[in-house]
Amino acid sequence: MKLLLPFDGSPAARHAVELVAGYAGSPASLSVTLLNVERSASDRGRTVLKPALERLAAAGFALEADVQAGPVAPTILAKARTAQSDLVVMGTRGEGAVQGFALGSVALRVAHGNGPPVLLVKPDDRLPGTVGLRTKVLLAMDGSEPALRAAERLVAWRGWLGELDVHLVYVQEPLTMLQAVLPPHDDVIGQWSTREGEDATRKARELFARGKIAHHLHLTVGDPSREIMVLAEQTKADLIVVGTRGRGAAHHALIGSVALKSAALTAVPVLLVP
């Protein structure tokens, strides 16, 4: 498993390093490339990378370090392609020369950039301590192909994530007052009942069942990002996973709205899967 870890020395970036350093599986199963991106060529990057290199080396990881000059998001994406990275692990709200991996700026451009999945880590996120042995995941579903691809990615990654316990959440929009008073039609009946959520999550649940992966379905009503936040706390999730660019029956444009709102509101890392 090849990880690309952009690092600018900020609290968020250091927290992302701690997430990787705390991996509970075998360090031999991961290789880590640290990348510092400067706006112009200088020797500062090697100095910035030094504490991250020392921390990860002490944890036993195979490491590569790289310093490049250029625009931040395109440079990260180009490095992810040349290094054939499986995952980009990014601290959000960073500081330093790149002026921050802020939600909605660099992180969003990297997530939109047709690269590998992106794991967003905030400086105050609760870091999981058992990833590599077992991982409890909250998987947001909206019935879209991107959401199903996120489920498929989890199945493919259980070798390095460890034993999976997946909580699927489907959030329905509340009925409008007009829908509530008019005679029910098929679409309203589906929304009133659990049928809509069951249909939207069926393929993912079948996928987990075939893989003998523990999974649980949660059907809720309300604002998706807030419902995800509440359920992440209730289930004590290690990780929130969202398929990006998804638009399901409820027309939730996940990337840029639910995904980033969830990353901002929740206290655990959020994985965006393109």
Q: Quote helix, strand, coil % in the chain, to nearest 5.
A: 45, 25, 35
E-state strands within 77-225: 87-91, 118-121, 134-141, 163-172, 214-221
Predicted pLDDT at 251: 35
How far is CA 204 from its chain centroid?
17
Q: Token pair of 83, please?
A: 């290094």
Q: Assign residue 231 a region (left: φ > 0; alpha: ψ between -120 and 50; beta: otherwise).
A: alpha
Instruction: Give the helix/strand (H/E) hosting 67.
Output: strand 62-69
Helix (H) or strand (E) holding 233: helix 224-235
- For the domain made up of 134-273, the CATH class stated in words is alpha beta
* pLDDT tens for the 274 residues of the chain, in order: 999 999 999 898 999 999 999 999 999 999 999 999 987 766 788 899 999 999 999 999 989 999 999 988 999 999 999 999 999 999 886 343 333 334 546 777 787 788 999 999 988 899 998 999 999 999 999 888 889 999 999 999 999 999 999 999 998 876 555 554 455 555 554 555 578 888 899 999 999 999 999 999 999 888 888 889 899 999 999 999 988 764 433 333 444 466 667 767 788 999 988 8
Amino acid at the residue 253: A
Q: What is the CATH number of domain 2-121?
A: 3.40.50.620
Encoding tokens for residue 56? 């990860």
> What integer pLDDT is reported at residue 212 of this predicted model?
96
Which one-letter DSSP state was computed for residue 3?
Answer: E
Q: Where in the chain is the domain with CATH 3.40.50.620?
A: 2-121, 134-273
Residue 173 pLDDT: 72
For residues 98 and 72, the answer to whether their CB atoms sit within 8 Å is: yes
* pLDDT for res 136: 98
pLDDT of 274 reads 82
Phi and psi of 41, rounded to 5°?
-65, 135
* pLDDT at res. 261: 72
